Structure formats: C-alpha cells, structure tokens
Structure 1
C-alpha cells in the first residue's frame, strides 16, 4: 500500500457502485464459463470422437464457434469492471491479477465474488472515506 492510498479517502458511493457492477459481471462470467466448459465437453468429449455420435459433432462445432467469442466478450467486460473496482479501491497489482484469475477458472468467479465482497467491506470499514466526513458533520 502506498502513501497516497492511505492518505486519500475512498469514495464509498463510487466503490459500492463499482462493486455492484463487478458482482453482476462475476455471476455472468461464471455462468458463461460453465456454459463454455459444457460446450467443450460435448464437442470434444461426448461427440468429438469417431463412433456413434459423429454426425452431431458438427452441431457442437457450430455452437462452439458462436459461444466462444461471446464468452470472450463477457470476460473482457468482466476484466474492465474488475479494473474499475481495483482503481477505486487503490489495491496493489496482486489484487488485480487475482480478480482477473477469478474469471478464468470455472466456478471460481462465484467464490471470488464473495471473497472480494468481504475484502471491500473490510477495507471500507478500515480505511477513511469521503462519506465519513459527512457522517461526522
């Protein structure tokens, strides 16, 4: 933590708004990644080999070609919203890398969202905010 991040108060309203967007993005990314994994299992695991299901493999290829870029866009939006939260909280670079990692491993974004929520709440209690001055007045 740098000197600037400890002396300059956080904007609690902006942080909570940013976290709300990040929370939605985490849930959407988690679901999108699970859908992508299911498509890949169907494409390569169930219907990918020679044998009984080869005629439907082309269908899963097409579904994969459509869903993969959609998931990529969802992940990019997730990273942008994670970056926004990271900037507003003024965390270290390790925290940003962790936020990005949460969106890469299936199901981890759900746990990462809960962990991030606890970290945001703890930091808002511990660190000064602009709204603290208004509450005292």
Structure 2
C-alpha cells in the first residue's frame, strides 16, 4: 500500500483557526436569527412589523456568514483530505442552532487526532518518526 501524502500541519492549523472564528460567528449569527424569528412570529404576532424589518435586514447578513463558514469548512476539509460525509457534517453543524459551537470542538479533536496519526511535512523538521497504522 502506498504511503499517504503528508499533510501540511502549518497550513491545516491556520485553516482551522480561520474556521474556528467562522464557526463561532455562525453560531452567534444563527442564534440572533432564531431570536429575531421568535420575536417576529411568536412574541409580537405581527410578522410585517418592526421585527419583520429587522428579519429582512439580518437574514442576508446571516446568509453571508454561513457561506463564509462553508467555504472555510471546505478549505479545512480539503487540507485534511477527509471523506465527503465529514464535509456534510461540517455543513450541518452550521444549520442547527448551537451545534456549530460543539461541532467546532469535535472538528478540532478530529484534526488533532489526524495530525498525530498521519504523516506531516513537519515530521522531518522535528525528527519525528510516525508509526505506521
């Protein structure tokens, strides 16, 4: 079996730092959107009133934040060379309120474990020898 291409740990960690910021921003933006929708449809009972205006202003902002989250998630997924189901999970984490906060932690764990287990370009610099699984 051929040796897998090594990961670039520096690029992966930089990509994760960007993704982490986007995950937190998406989580906050989604919570704000949910709060606006509750105010619009449940509390005020007037979907076209003030909360309707706020909703029309916030929804596109949230959409842009989610698109940035997906692009940065794709960048991390691509650098880690994970399989497609993991990318689908990353996208799902940004759609369910509060899940992006937990998902970011789970993704961090996956990344750290993969960097520990898989060969990286920085192994030679450290003089590290990785065990073969």
In structure 1, the residue matched to 2:92 is: 101
Tell me by how many angstroms 1:133 deviates: 1.1
Runs of 4+ deviating beyond 2 Å: none
> How many correspondences in the alignment?
128
Q: Which runs of 5+ in 1 are unaligned?
A: 49-53
Q: Deviations over 1:78-128 (max 9, x none)?
A: 000000000000000000000000000000000000000111000000000
- Secondary structure of the residue aligned to 1:7 is coil
In structure 2, the residue matched to 1:27 is: 24
**TM-score, reference length from structure 2:** 0.92
Q: Which runs of 5+ in 2 are unaligned?
A: 129-133
**TM-score, reference length from structure 1:** 0.89
Tell me by how many angstroms 1:136 deviates: 1.1
Q: Provide the C-alpha distance between the structure 2 equivalents of 1:18 and 1:131, rounded to a whole number of angstroms.
A: 16
Q: Report which of the two has the higher share of helix.
A: 1
The root-mean-square deviation of aligned C-alpha atoms, in Å, is 1.6
